[in-house]
Amino acid sequence: MKEKTTKASVNYFFIGIILIIAFYFLLPKFNIIKFPYNLIGFIFLTIGIWLILWVWFLFRENNTPESFEKSRVLVITGPFKVSRNPMYVGKIFFLIGISILFGNVLSFIFPFLFFIIMDRVFLPFEEEKTVRDLGKKYLNYKNKVRRWV
């Protein structure tokens, strides 16, 4: 099941990127963040990529399963000290960065929608699964570290 939810969350992320780019071309009258101000998007992109890669390397380092196999390890180092979901935070930063770069104000709906979908659909399922797998260890961590930031 996790594999399906992980793939679905990745799909939402890439659909968001595609729609942000599509809005740029399909709704040009809303492209109001112009050069050089749109270059601020690179800051958000860089933070997003950095977080995504950092988490990815931490998962590899700790042999965290990619699919929804039984969780055996609780990663609480690095960005996991301040957020239980730094990978999703990184993806939101990335989507905001793309929105700023393309400059279409309507495209800012997609980082917001991604946040809502992850927060309301995916994270409750993932947290419930992690509680079943890791029990009190995860509950203690969950009580100390916020879901987002």
CATH code at 2-144: 1.20.120.1630
Give how far the C-alpha of residue 123 lies from the chain's centroid of Cα atoms, to the nearest Å.
Answer: 11
In tens, the pLDDT along 39-85 reads 999 999 999 999 999 999 999 999 887 656 778 899 999 999 999 99
Residue-wise pLDDT for 16-42, tens only, equals: 999 999 999 999 999 999 999 999 999
pLDDT tens, residue by residue, 115-141: 999 999 999 998 999 999 999 999 999
How many C-beta neighbours within 10 Å does residue 122 have? 18
User: What is the H or E stretch that residue 124 is in?
Assistant: helix 123-134
Yes or no: say if 110 and 95 are a contact pair by the CB < 8 Å rule. yes
Is residue 1 over pLDDT 80? no
Please say whether the beta carbons of 98 and 111 come within 8 A. Answer: no
